[in-house]
A = this chain, B = another copy of it.
C-alpha cells in the first residue's frame, strides 16, 4: 500500500515538469518581443543594481553600454554589453542611467560638456529618510545643469529585476522637469514590463526617494497601541478567569489561555479601537465649537491621530474577525461539549426538565443578532477602505459610508456588548477580587463617544458647527492671529 503513497509523489513531480513545459508558450508572452529598433542605453556604474538593470534591458532588446573608470570589462557585466570609459559610453547614448551612489556624483561635473542635452536617469536611494537637504536627483541636476534629469527605477529592487519574479508592485515612480525626457524614460520603463507613474516635476524626487525606506509608517501607532492594550487585557482576564478559579476553587482552567481568554480580549480591543476611530472627529468638533473658527490648526497629536484613523479601524476589524472565528468554534471545543453533556446528564439523572426561559432566549438571540449585524457593517466599511473601491466613490458617497455607516456600526457593537452584559452589570458575583468584568472596561470609550456625538447633533450645537465648517467665524480677530501661526509653521 505504501507504493500508492510513493506513486503520488512520483506522479506529482512528473506532472509538475510536464505542465511547466506546456505553460512556456503562455509565459513567453509576458516578456515583450525583442526587436533591434531600441535605442542604445548607457549605464554609469557596474554595481549590483547597474548590472541588474543592464541584464533586464538587454533581455528587452536594448543595446547597453556600460561606462566605468577602468575600461577593462569585469566578469559580471553581461557579454552583450559594451564596456567603455565614462566619456565614450556617454557619447554613444541619449539616455544615461546613473547607477552610482550620491557621494560619487562629483566626477560628473568634468563630463558636463558631453552630458549636455542628454537624459540622466537618477536611480539612487538613501539609507535614511530625508538624509540630505535636497533629493539626490535635484543634487544631480545642480551638478550637471545642461542635462535633463529624470528620477526613476529607485523603487524597484535589483533582486526582483534579476529573478524576473515581480510579484510585488510593478510601479515605477518617474519625475522630471523636462516633459519629453520623462516620456522617453517612461517608454523604457514600459518596455521592461513595468508600469511608469508620472509624479510631476523634480520637486517630487524627495518623496520618491523616501518611499522605498518606509515600513508601514501609518500602521505603527495602531499596532503598538493594540499590542499594549492586548497585553493589559490578557493579564486582566488571566487573573479573573484562570488564577481566581485556581486560588478559590482549585480548578485548573489553564487551557482558557488558548481560546476563552483571546475571545474576551479580541472583542474588547475591537470595540475600543473602533471607538478611538471616531473619538478624534468628536474632539475636533468640540475644539472648533470652542474656538468658533475652523481656520486654526488642530493640535499636532490630533492631526496625527486623524491621519491614522483608517489604520486604527482596520486593526479593529482584524480583532473583530478573530472574535467571530473564536466564537464560531465554541461548539466544537471539547471543553464546551463536556460541559454541555455533563449538564444534560445531571438534569437527566435528577429527572428535571427546565422550561424554556423566554427572557434569556430573547437576550441571547438579540445579543447574537446585534453582533452579526455589527460585524457585517464593519466588514462593509473595511471593503470600502480598499484603495480600488474608495477610488471609485466620490466624496459624498465616502462621507455617507464612513460617517453614517461607521456610527451605525459603533452603535450596534456597543449595543451587542451591553446586551451581552444583560443583567450582570450589578450582580456582585461578577466582581472577582473587586475587579469588574473586562467587557465593562471596554464600554467606557465607546459610550463616551456616542454620548458626546449625540449631544453634538442636537440642533443648538449642530447649526453653529455647520456654519463654522462652511467658513463662518465667531471671532474674526482671534483667527487672524492664528493664521499667522499657521503660516509661520508652513514657511
Contact = CB atoms under 8 A, between A and B. Distances in A.
Nearest to A341: B344
A476 B129 contact: no
A176 B228 CA distance: 52
B20 A490 contact: no
A261 to B, nearest CB: 10
Interface residues of A, number: 191
Given A16-B301, A24-B304, A306-B163, A214 B397 contact: yes
Contact of A479 (B75, B156, B210): B75
A331 B331 contact: yes
Interface stretch (A82-90, A115-123, A368-376, A456-464): A368-376
Contact of A155 (B204, B207, B334, B395): B395
Interface string A246-265: 00000010110011101000
B220 A26 contact: yes
A155 B394 contact: yes
Given A20-B300, A217-B27, A335-B365, A78 B395 contact: no
A380 B55 CA distance: 34
A246 B306 CA distance: 52
B365 A307 contact: no
Contact of A490 (B47, B80, B169, B294): B80
Interface in A1-46: 1-2, 4-5, 8, 11-12, 15-17, 19-21, 23-30, 32-35, 37-38
A187 B175 CA distance: 10
A338 interface: yes
B190 A27 contact: no
Contacts of A212: 394-396
B25 A214 contact: no
A449 B165 CA distance: 20
B255 A214 contact: no
Contact of A434 (B2, B228, B329): B2
Contact of A364 (B30, B305, B334, B480): B334
Contacts of A35: 203
Contacts of A32: 203-204, 206-207
B224 A29 contact: no
Interface string A299-312: 01101111111100
Nearest to A15: B228
Nearest to A394: B212
A255 B366 CA distance: 8
B75 A27 contact: no
Interface string A373-412: 1011001100001111111111111111010000000000
27 contacts: A12-B228, A21-B301, A24-B300, A27-B217, A37-B203, A75-B480, A76-B473, A78-B486, A164-B307, A168-B395, A168-B402, A169-B390, A169-B391, A169-B395, A169-B398, A171-B391, A186-B200, A212-B395, A213-B396, A215-B396, A322-B372, A327-B332, A334-B357, A334-B365, A338-B356, A386-B386, A386-B388
Given A29-B129, A75-B477, A255-B365, 11 more contacts: A1-B433, A75-B480, A159-B469, A168-B395, A191-B201, A259-B365, A328-B328, A338-B354, A338-B357, A344-B344, A386-B388
